[in-house]
Every structure is written in structure tokens, then in C-alpha cells.
Amino acid sequence: MGGGGGGGGCGDMGMAKAWRYSTFSAKLALEQQHKHVCWRSQKRPISWSILCGLMLFCLGLISLFTGHVASDLEWYSQRLVKRSLYSKLDMGRRASINIWKSESSKFYHGCSKKGRHFASAVREKSSNGYLLVAASGGLNQQRTGITDAVVVARILNATLVVPELDHHSFWKDDSDFVDIFDVDWFISSLAKDVTIVKRVPDKVMRSMEKPPYTMRVPRKSTPEYYLDQVLPILLRRRVVQLTKFDYRLANNIDEELQKLRCRVNYHALRFTKPIQELGQKLVIRMRKMTNRFIAVHLRFEPDMLAFSGCYYGGGEKERYELGEIRKRWATLPDLSPEGERKRGKCPLTPHEVGLMLRALGFGNETYVYVASGEIYGGEETLQPLRELFPNFYAKEMLASEELKPFLPYSSRLAAIDYIVSDESDVFVTNNNGNMAKILAGRRRYMGHKRTIRPNAKKLSALFMARNKMDWDTFAKKVKSCQRGFMGEPDEMRSGRGEFHEFPYSCVCQKPFKYPDDENNNDKQVTLVSRAYIGSGSEWENKGPNSLQRLKENPGEGPVTLGDTEDDGFLAD
């Protein structure tokens, strides 16, 4: 394949380079010796210090050149070996990438089953008390709170009461847990991990001398904090309520607790039947029109723009309207819109999202589902995106009468968008908000379905200068900007980033076995992403026969990639 051939070419270049430099060095030394002889024959006076200085200078040049040759030879030889070994496995930066699907996604799967030593849940009567949790924010922000509430209950050996949802957020949705999630499934599916009840028993409430103790824990609190600060109160009072519960548990915790997070988020939190049925109907209607489609979460609502502190050219009207919304966050600092855009903190406009997608290779025949609430600027803001992608749909366009019962409830509408976005072939985020994180994590857990997030920091400068370049140049630069932002398995190292977005403890790699291998014990190769590819010795540990096969047949392997191209980063 192209990868192996490229490595061989580099090796030949390195050898040729070494030959040229060694010949040049020898000629340079001879010329210097010749000059010294001529100077002596002409009996010109010259000090020994100058002569020694010239000799040292020449030796320095020689060592400099030969040093470069040695380092180049080493680099080229490593490239030659690495390309021959991993030409099919290494997702090279210059390789063509299928914009619809990660080629390595089939080698990853969710794995959140609890370990053998993870004890069963304590029974209600034996627990340390009852934990009440009041989630905060919109649907997906509350989802993080519910997920972490289960884990905190496990840490405290407490009985969890079904969490309360936020009725006072910006969205003013009075839906309860039972209106959005299948509460019976939630309780039963987690029964072996945590005991969950729908309410504190009346007998316990009557026996309490004081109302439930209410407290708010700091964000990203560790398990030790809960054991030191919350557990003693729980043991004394029997019932404790935690308020504003979102992102109140540390990102990095014990792996078994991380897996519990995944069991809650990806299995136990199932939408109610009416929400699930309508969401699936919209997916079916999209599939009847096209085999594959993109879901774009624009997140260009007024509250998002106000919170970001960004400016989009709407004059004093925009400044006033967003400024009024911004007042609801008393602690937000004054921000420079220009500075925030340069830092990549501003959502792209719908037009910019469309330009990015077209530049990546999605044609105007592509079907696009837009998951969004009220777009700031309305139809005028959406029009440029519609022109770029005429096959433009939203839930309101796919369902009219069926959607009416859900219209007063923003969280239920968000749940419908969640279902369609999750089922899409490609999910495109427009900011690093809660829905973007939650869905990106779920799609990684479900086998790394393609999730594209704009590299806003680099793209912002490119969009400002787009009128100064032709389309081909612009598209090439967009593709370059988006390397590492296309939802590939190796985009984030384990333990880094928000766990809800990168559930690394719950994603496993499938082993690959050659079909004609008789002894699978020593011929099994575990596929690894580019971030974890190491030296050949690591592969020898997987099985010397498998390594030898790759050495002898560098084109043989489980991943099929396009040949490397100078500017062919993405291919349909």
C-alpha cells in the first residue's frame, strides 16, 4: 500500500542524503587542506590561533552536517519500520478519512459491566440514610447531575430518592423525572448497584425531629469530600438534600465508579415511551428520504449567545437584547467579544457551520437535521445554511400534530432532538455545551460514531479571512484545522477531558484474530489507535508470529485506509 511505499521512499532519500553530505564533507576537508598548503607555499604570515580556529570551524561544519545525516537516517529508518508495521493501523495525519464514518470505529465498543469485586447495593433498611438530589439546568445538564447522584449514593452507601428536576431554570420547564425518563426502568436496572426509591417513606419523615438537611457541595468534589463532609451529617440526620447538583463529582474517580457512571448514563436513563416513540418516528422519516444524514446541534439560542459574551454584528439591538439576558448571571465577568472569538469561545453562526461542512466534503445533496431551540435572528439567521444544504429538516418540519403535546416542555423537545441526533450518521456540535458533551460521549461508547466538533479557535481566524482566498484554498485550510476534531478514537488521551464527553474507562478495544491462524493464543493482535502505538517490542509481546506476519506482509491488516495524499485529508 501507499504507506509502506512512502516509508521505502523516505529511506532511499535518507541514504541519498547521507551519501551527498558525506561526499560534501570529504571535499570540504580536502579543500581546507589544499588552502593550508597554498598559504604555506606563499609563506604568508598566519597565526596559529587563526589556523586552529579555521580547523575547528571546519570540523564543526562537518559534525553539523553528519549529525543531521545521522538524525535523518534514524528518523527515516524509524518511519520505514513504522510504516511497514502499521501502514494499515496508523491513522496517519495525511491519510484520507471517510467523513461519514471512522474506519476504526468497528474495533471499539462500550464496556461498563461491573467487576467481580464490586459489591451489591446495600438494602434500604441497612443503608446510611436517604439522599435527596435536586438537579440543575436544562435536560442534559440535569442528566449529568442524575448520573453523578447515583455514584454519590453508592459512595455514601445511601438510598437514593429519585432526583428532582429543575423547574426554575431559564427554560421554565415543570416536567418531573417521571415525565421524561422511565422511572421504573431506572430503579430496576440499577438495583444491584444502588437502592433507589421514589420517595422517602412517611415513617422516616415522621420520625425526624428536623426537616431534611440541605447543603450544596462544591463542584468536582472528590469521593473523600463526600465521606468527610456529607456522610457524618447523613448519619446524624438520616436524610440529606443536595441542591444545584450538576458536575458536583470529580472527573477522575475509581474505575468501577466510572463504569457505574456509564451504566447510569447509557443504559438506565431511558426516555419515556411517548418521547422514545416520537423520536424514532422522526428517525424513520429521515431514513425514508436518505440512507444517511447529519444532525447539527446549532446551539445558537439567545441564552447561549448571551452567556458566551460574543457579538455577531447585530448592532445596538443585539447588544441590548443579549445584555438583558446576560444579567441573569450576576457573576459573569465583562468579556471582549473579539477576544472570546479569537480564543474559540464563540459558537459558529449557522452560515459558518454550513461552510465548514461543505469544505469538509459534504455536498449540497446531504440531508441535514437541525437540533435546536429558538435560533437568535430566526429565519434570517438560518437562511444561509438552508442555501448551502437545501435538504434541511427540523422536528417541527417532520412532525406537526404529533409534536403539539410536547411544545410547552423544552426538556421533552430536547429529548426528541437527542434521540434523532444519537441515531444520525454524523453528529455536528457547535459548542462545548452539555448536549454536545453528553452525546459525544454516548457516540464514543456506542462505537465511535462520527462526531464533528469545530476547532473554533483556528476556524475563527479562517472565517474572517475567507474572502481573501479562493474556495479550494479555504477548503484545504478547513480540513487542516479540523484534524483531531473529527471524532476519531485517538483524539483524547485516557484520563483527560470531561468524563461525560470522553468515557475512557467504558470504551474497550476488540481483539483481532487472523482468520487462518491455528493457534490464536500467540497470534492475537489487539488493535491500538495512533495515540497508543509504541515500539515493535510491544507488538512482540502480543505474539511474535503476528509481528512477523506484519513485517512480511505490511499490507495485511484489519483497517482499510486510502493512500496518503498531500491534501486529501477527507474523502467521501
The distance from CA 203 to its chain's CA centroid, rounded to whole angstroms, is 47
Task: Specify the pLDDT at position 363.
Answer: 97
Whether the pLDDT of residue 66 is over 70: the answer is no
Whether the pLDDT of residue 109 is over 70: the answer is yes
User: Tens digit of pLDDT for each residue in 288-320?
Assistant: 999 999 999 998 888 888 888 888 888 899 889
User: Tens digit of pLDDT for each residue in 242-264?
Assistant: 999 999 999 999 999 999 999 99
Task: Specify the pLDDT at position 153.
Answer: 98
Task: Specify the pLDDT at position 56.
Answer: 67
Q: What are the two backbone dihedrals, phi and then psi, of residue 255, each rounded to the nearest 5 degrees?
A: -60, -35
Task: Specify the pLDDT at position 126.
Answer: 96
Question: Residue type for 255, please?
Answer: E
On the CB side of 557, CA atoms within 13 Å amount to 30
User: Tens digit of pLDDT for each residue in 1-27?
Assistant: 434 444 444 443 443 333 333 333 444
Percentage of the residues of the chain whose pLDDT score is greater than 90? 55
User: Tens digit of pLDDT for each residue in 524-535?
Assistant: 434 333 232 222
> pLDDT band for position 46 (50/70/90)?
low
And the C-alpha cell for 470? Answer: 479562493
* 129 dihedral zone (left: phi>0; alpha: psi -120 to 50; beta): left
- The β-bridge relationship of strands 159-161 and 196-197 is parallel
User: Tens digit of pLDDT for each residue in 215-244?
Assistant: 999 999 999 999 999 999 999 999 999 999
- Residue 423 makes CB contacts below 8 A (sequence gap 6+) with 279, 280, 283
Task: Specify the pLDDT at position 494.
Answer: 66
- The β-bridge relationship of strands 97-98 and 392-393 is unpaired
Whether the pLDDT of residue 393 is over 50: the answer is yes
User: Tens digit of pLDDT for each residue in 443-456?
Assistant: 999 999 999 999 99
Task: Specify the pLDDT at position 60.
Answer: 62
> pLDDT band for position 344 (50/70/90)?
confident
* Sheet with strand 293-297: strands edge to edge: 392-393, 367-371, 293-297, 426-429, 451-452
Query: Considering all CA atoms of the chain, what is the largest pairwise distance in Å, rounded to the nearest integer?
Result: 115
* Cα torsion 392, 375, 408, 275: sign: positive
Of 506, 451, 501, nearest to 109 (Cα)? 506
DSSP tag of 474: H
Task: Specify the pLDDT at position 48.
Answer: 59
| Distances, alpha carbon 459 to alpha carbons 203, 258, 312, 452, 454, in Å | 60, 34, 15, 13, 7
* Cα torsion 522, 527, 528, 534: sign: positive
Mean pLDDT of all residues belonging to the chain = 79
Strongest mean pLDDT among 77-91, 211-225, 496-510? 211-225
